[in-house]
Structure 1
Amino acid sequence: MDNKVVYTFQYKNPTSANVYLWLATPPDTKHQQVINEKKTPPCQKNEDTIGNKISFYEIKPNETIKASYKIQLLNNTEDTLPELTQEEKNYYLRSTPMVCVNEEVRDIASLVTKGVENPKEQAKLLFFYIVKNYKYKFPPKARGVTHFLKSKKGDCGEFSFLFAALCRAIEIPCRIMVGAFTGGNHRAHVWNEIYLEQEGWIPVDTSMAATVKRQLWRYFFSPFQTLFWKTYFGKTEHQRIVFSIDTEHQPVPAYPKAIVQNKQPYSPFDIAGEPFIWGKDLVQNKIPYFQPMYLYYEDQKPLKDRTENFLGLWNVQETGKQKLTLLVRSISGYIALLFAIFYFSTNWDLLSILFPFPAFLFCLSFVIRKERVLFFSFATVFFGIIMLLVSMGAISTIL
């Protein structure tokens, strides 16, 4: 079944000077389609060769820009397979500072896929290799394939950069999908798609596979499904959107040349082996990625370390039945928690009698949304039986 989500974005200039901002419009892919768009009119629009639509804004102090999108999530396959031009193939096989296809990467890719000729099976072996040997850690100490190979710890971005590099090393076109999960504010995520001639673009999510396999507790009460870890090769849970495709984008209009008079107050971050100041620098004259924006701020004072100052405020929410069941979960969960807290602090027996009712609704919402179904099915049955026994006891008391 196809689902609709609403994605909202806003950015308020927190400085005393102008902010220049490049904002990505969610692209149309085989998994999503923008069906409605409203936003502050940009100064300039640009579309690159791979489908990214970027709006440019010049924002005055205390000025706010806003954007909202209604997006149809498509759970289908293409009627006709897309054919990549040679230029597109070269683009998705290229080596970049963040997705560095160096000798070490080529050696690993060759060793892991030794004796296997089929591109899909080769990509699957690379998927298993990363899941087995690399661990999820947020925030990472640096970004880029070179650092990730050494530390073997990183977030979803690092997983996707390495998988792309390994695929490109053995001539499998691979792109990086930069986006977010549904269900709240700033649920940023990055994954991959590989191109296979017989299937077109298919999703691969190494970081979700690794965390579901080793750290399922991270998602136990989250508002989206988790699949069996191996399933993340070729499939996703259908609860995510894409902000932009791939990394290292040419800024249009040109990025201002930053004159940082005093670098000491800033906190540089290592990207591709170089110290990088977000909002003042580029990666070899390119914007590293849009999630969902990038900026340049004229103010010489460093921005306060808040997500909204660097990435804006954004939210992705489901609609219809999915939104309703999530609301029921939230309300019933809080009620059950309050009942439990007050019971243990007051020993009021009535609260222990009432507790199973919101707990039942809380667990049932997971089953309806197909999230951790096995566990929450047992929990739903358990609280359902308790509810029945409590109700029968209350009826017998009245009679």
Structure 2
Amino acid sequence: MKTFQVRYVYKNSVCPTLSLWMVIPSGAVMTGAQPETVTALPTGEELGYFVLEEGAEMEVTFEQGEYTPGRQELSAGERLFYLRDTTLSSIEEVKEKTQELTGHLTDAKEKARMIFMHIVKEFRYVYPPSERGVASFLQTAKGDCGEFSFLFTAMCRAAGIPSRTIVGSWANGKMNAHVWNECYMEGEGWFPVDTSMANIQKRQPLRFFGSDVPTLYWERYFGRTEGRRIVFSKDSELPLMPAYEDEEDPVLFNVLPINGQSFCWGQQSFDGTAPYLQPVYIKCEESVPSRDLGVTELMGTWKVKGPTWLEGTVYLKRASFFIGLMGVLLSWITGEAIFDLLYTGSFMVYALISLARKERMMAFGVVFILMTLSFVAAWGKAGLV
């Protein structure tokens, strides 16, 4: 199994005193600021509470293997928790539609598949979304991975299927946030579902063509993932401890519309819960800034590195693509057959590395065959056969 190394850093450059909540990963090593308290969450995770003075920094490093959902049995309390109604995943908003889609079905997996197919086909991936929350998503039918996931959670819960929103990141590079789902199937445990990636692969199949992230055929995202993703927290709207004290009259910065209502990120909560931990949620305790904060000021920074050989293939792939582009340009300028060999050979290597990394196997398989045939033709044109 591949192992990914994650390094997360947060530095308080926002206000004199800042509170921060973060799920502490298993086996994490923490330097700098240490948690004031550590409490258990209903998800089975541990929530750390930090207090950072201005200029203070915390660093958390940990390892995770390729993503696989858990197989544990749910207790009665856990089942209720994963069937709860929340602000971002409002069950009331989707009851009628869920009943229309799944009311004639008895099998939980068939119900979940019906919900999956409906969301993938009826909604469109757009980043960034204009608003957050299921109510807004239903009105616009446009949203990013968060909205797709919040809706899947809400509809599964409305159908009586325990479900949770998984908040995390792609396991490559810096700050590649992603959100998806797990729903619970009796006898199987947690079952992975990614409606936003299915939607992209169905409607925008070229969107990830040059990415280092592997992809699957869209229907396979019901029950499978490519595995190269990191989990930060196993659900949205997790209770914050110690209690989050909302500002009664918040300064209007980082205002994010949620279900048609203004929400000040970093000053408010949903009845004591964080909208989501990716991987942190913060609160400015004093001298609140009167400007919008940047992404790193809100969430910190993280970087994910894979095994050395896997990281090395990224650089080889990018180098071969760049050399291929240069070969195309030089071939066009000079007309020399040697540059035809250069670009066809480079693109052949690019496709071969992509195949070795299991990225879009069918597409890169076709590219590899075409480039191989073109390379042989260029070899003959150059008089080398």
Q: Does the alignment pair 1:382 with 2:381? A: no
Higher mean alpha-carbon deviation, 325-334 vs 300-309, is at: 300-309
Q: Is the 8 A contact 2:193 2:223 kept in 1?
A: yes
Partner of 1:330: 318
Partner of 1:292: 279
Aligned-pair distance for 1:388? 4.4
Indicate how the Cα distance of structure 1 residues 131 and 342 shifts in structure 2: closer, same or farther if over 3 A, else same: same
Partner of 1:113: 102
Indicate how the Cα distance of structure 1 residues 394 and 171 shifts in structure 2: closer, same or farther if over 3 A, else same: same
CA deviation digits over 1:97-130, x for unaligned, max 9?
111111x411111110132111111111111111
Partner of 1:91: 81
Aligned-pair distance for 1:295? 0.6
Partner of 1:4: 3
Distance 1:107 1:261 in 2: 36
SS in 1 for 2:303: strand
Q: Does the alignment pair 1:199 with 2:198? A: no
Partner of 2:167: 178
Distance 1:61 1:338 in 2: 48
Aligned counterpart in structure 2 of residue 55 of structure 1, from 48, 53, 67 = 48
Distance 1:121 1:85 in 2: 23
Aligned-pair distance for 1:272? 3.8
Partner of 2:18: 19
Q: Does the alignment pair 1:44 with 2:37? A: yes
Q: Is the 8 A contact 1:3 1:74 kept in 2?
A: no
SS in 2 for 1:42: coil
Indicate how the Cα distance of structure 1 residues 341 and 61 shifts in structure 2: closer, same or farther if over 3 A, else same: farther
Aligned-pair distance for 1:91? 0.6
Aligned-pair distance for 1:341? 4.6
Distance 2:186 2:20 in 1: 37
Q: Is the 8 A contact 1:260 1:300 kept in 2?
A: no
Q: Is the 8 A contact 1:303 1:309 kept in 2?
A: no
Aligned-pair distance for 1:370? 1.4
Identity of aligned residues (%): 32
Partner of 1:211: 200
Distance 1:261 1:130 in 2: 35
Q: Is the 8 A contact 1:155 1:207 kept in 2?
A: yes
Q: Does the alignment pair 1:67 with 2:57? A: no
Mapping 1:123-142, distance limit 5 Å = 123-142=112-131
CA deviation digits over 1:44-73, x for unaligned, max 9?
322212122222222222332211111122
Distance 1:201 1:244 in 2: 15
SS in 1 for 2:94: helix
The AA in structure 2 aligned to 1:72 is G
CA-based RMSD: 2.4
Distance 2:258 2:223 in 1: 29
Indicate how the Cα distance of structure 1 residues 216 and 305 shifts in structure 2: closer, same or farther if over 3 A, else same: farther
SS in 2 for 1:221: coil
Distance 1:343 1:65 in 2: 52
Q: Is the 8 A contact 1:35 1:72 kept in 2?
A: no
SS in 1 for 2:206: helix
Output the TM-score relative to the length of structure 1. 0.88
Distance 1:153 1:361 in 2: 38
Partner of 2:148: 159
Q: Is the 8 A contact 2:30 2:58 kept in 1?
A: no
Distance 2:243 2:67 in 1: 35
Partner of 1:321: 309
CA deviation digits over 1:266-307, x for unaligned, max 9?
241112442111111112222111011111123322454522
Partner of 2:348: 360
CA deviation digits over 1:162-211, x for unaligned, max 9?
11111111211111111111222221111111111121111111111111
Q: Does the alignment pair 1:275 with 2:265? A: no
Distance 2:245 2:85 in 1: 25
Indicate how the Cα distance of structure 1 residues 394 and 129 shifts in structure 2: closer, same or farther if over 3 A, else same: closer
Unaligned runs of 5+ in 1: 27-33
Aligned-pair distance for 1:353? 4.1
The AA in structure 2 aligned to 1:275 is S
Partner of 1:31: none
Q: Is the 8 A contact 1:8 1:316 kept in 2?
A: yes
